[in-house]
Chain A
Amino acid sequence: MTDAALHDPIDPVPASRSAAPTWFDADGGRLLGQTCDACRSVFFPPTLDFCGNPSCEGETFTVQPMSSCGTVWSWTTNHYKPPAPYVSEEPFAPYTVLAVELATEGMVVLGQLSPESDPVEVGDTVEIRTETLLEDENGTQLVWRWMRTVNQEDAR
């Protein structure tokens, strides 16, 4: 995989950065998938050194942004504060986690629903965006979240 999305470790810590820089390009607002150069299978997160397809011997990959839109496969709203290392807002507010189906990749990925989004139902179209995960002494960490597409008819 390439290191294009990684910050140079000798750089000072940027004021705002992806909470998972090799997984999520915060500037482009896209999850980064890893495509095997041999069998073209896609993997997320892009952390493999060897292809996960048991019929493939591939060891080289191309990291590229995944689809920015998907369909809600399922959702759940958490009403209790989760344990660390999650950093909850104070006061705690319920938050929704989505499982989103990406058609091109043939894959379901997780992500929170943006607190600014309309509520979703299974089958709704959602699009990815960059939001703040947390702010601490190291600056602002950014994460991907999903937003319900306003015009569902056009999206379909």
Chain B
Amino acid sequence: MNDVAITGVGMHPWGKFGKSFVEYGRVAARAALADAGIAWSDVQFVAGANTWRGGYPGLVSGSTFAHALGWNGAGISSSFAACASGAQALSVARAQILAGLCDVALVVGADVAPKGFFGPFGAGDETDPDWLRFRLLGATNPTYFGLYAQRRIAAYGATSLDFARVKAKNSRAGVLNPYARFRKLVTVDEVLASPYVSEPLRLLDVCATSDGGAALVVTSVEYAERNERRFARLKAVATNTPRYPNDLIEMPNFASDSTAVVPAPELGFKKSLAHEAYEQSGLGADDLDLAEVYDLSTALELDWYEHIGLCQEGEAEKILADGRTSLGGSTPVNASGGLASFGEAVPAQAIAQVGELTTQVRGEAADRQVDGARVGIAINQGLFGHGSATIVSA
């Protein structure tokens, strides 16, 4: 029995507020503790997800958040794994609990976002591929999203209208989420009228960057039952790396691995994340009632449908158009509103995804509740071979 109990969920709203990431994380942590009905003094471990936009405190986030709540002697960890940072922090807390090293852990991630594009880390130099991709190619993050989107068009006949439908769908969910930054219905026509960023993707196809914070309280199942807490079950956290050769070009790389000598593995990296989570949990795509996927762009959401096994490759546009992934459909995707409605707050985002699954399987998602939600997957991928897939059940 490898389940861990998720007993509390907390969020700071996403937006642009001009405050410190510490404040967003502290607000989210307090909300999660209140939701769990667990006192801060009972927390034995704090797993932070780092940001490099907050100076030294951002790089020691476990300590920063523990200090912000008032030193209570808890153990700490501070994780950075690009878009998967929050899931990696959750993975550390889960391992602590499953190893019997603690009963109660707090997972926190928060960020402050720059205006416009993310640039390379720090001052950079000519030995850093992340610096060089900007310098030599002007290859911003949306450049990679645009390449994937154009590939979908060429490979499967996807259209700008398909991409716009993803944004419209996610906006319909986002207006129902009080923590979302963009709480306004967006029509397909509005997406198609917005200017190109990385053609074929338009401004409203690409997610914004936001301030935000999210937290979870996780405990052993035994602790949750003994203390009569309501809880969701954390069934799996996959944080595996790619297998060589990774034949898909990924941020911030200049090239894919070569498949000339060693053939590509059967499962590409993103599919391998979902596969690992299904293996850990003993569950499969057929068990899913909902999914939270990392919609850095609208086209990437469609890719994820296939990577998590909702449909075969090339069929994502069809299940989108059929309404299967909308609220009210058989497997709603991004019932939270997704990154389309939140904007990305990097270290908080994976935690927020798991928070949404938890809220849904507890039946507490109010107007955006997925009927009968019992099993969900959250999945993301980021720079430098990072990614995660998390499965939550009632």
Name A residues whose Cβ lies closer than 8 Å to a Cβ of B: 19-20, 23, 39-45, 47, 52-55, 73-80, 82-86, 88, 94-95, 97, 99, 104-112, 121-123, 133, 143
Contacts and interface: CB of A to CB of B under 8 A. Distances in A.
Contacts of B56: none
Chain A residues touching B, majority SS: loop
Interface residues of B, number: 51
A110 B249 contact: yes
Contact of A42 (B126, B136, B258): B258
A122 B150 contact: yes
A85 B154 contact: no
Given A74-B147, A83-B116, A85-B124, A104 B260 contact: yes
* Most-contacted residue by chain A among B124, B138, B142, B154 (CB, 10 A): B138
B116 A76 contact: no
A40 B261 CA distance: 7
Contacts of A79: 195-199
Nearest to A109: B255
Contacts of B143: 76, 78, 97
12 contacts: A73-B249, A76-B150, A79-B197, A82-B117, A82-B139, A83-B120, A85-B131, A97-B143, A106-B258, A107-B255, A108-B249, A111-B137
Given A78-B198, A79-B196, A99-B249, A86 B262 contact: no
A110 B255 contact: yes
Given A52-B257, A97-B147, A107-B259, A86 B135 contact: yes
Contacts of A133: 136
Nearest to B149: A76
A122 B196 contact: no
A111 B253 CA distance: 11
B135 A76 contact: no
Contacts, number: 149
B148 interface: yes
B16 interface: no
A107 B257 contact: yes
A20 B148 contact: no
Interface of B: 116-120, 124, 126-127, 129, 131-140, 142-143, 145-151, 153-154, 195-201, 244-245, 247, 249, 253-262
A30 to B, nearest CB: 14
Given A76-B149, A85-B134, A110-B133, 16 more contacts: A43-B257, A45-B254, A75-B150, A79-B196, A79-B199, A80-B117, A82-B139, A83-B117, A85-B124, A97-B146, A104-B260, A108-B256, A109-B254, A110-B253, A110-B254, A122-B154
B140 A122 contact: no
A106 B262 CA distance: 10
A80 B254 CA distance: 21
Contacts of A107: 255-260
Nearest to B127: A47
Contacts of B258: 41-43, 105-107
A83 B259 contact: no
Contacts of A54: 244
Contact of B137 (A74, A83, A110): A110
Nearest to B146: A76
A120 B161 CA distance: 22
Contacts of B259: 106-107
Contact of B199 (A77, A105, A109): A77
Q: Which 8 A-B pairs have the closest CB atoms?
A: A76-B146, A106-B260, A122-B154, A83-B119, A106-B259, A77-B199, A74-B151, A82-B138
Contacts of B199: 76-79, 94
B160 to A, nearest CB: 13
A91 to B, nearest CB: 15
Given A76-B147, A79-B196, A105-B260, A95 B138 contact: yes
Contacts of A85: 120, 124, 131, 134-135
Contacts of A112: 137-138
Contacts of B197: 78-80
A140 B134 CA distance: 18
A121 to B, nearest CB: 8
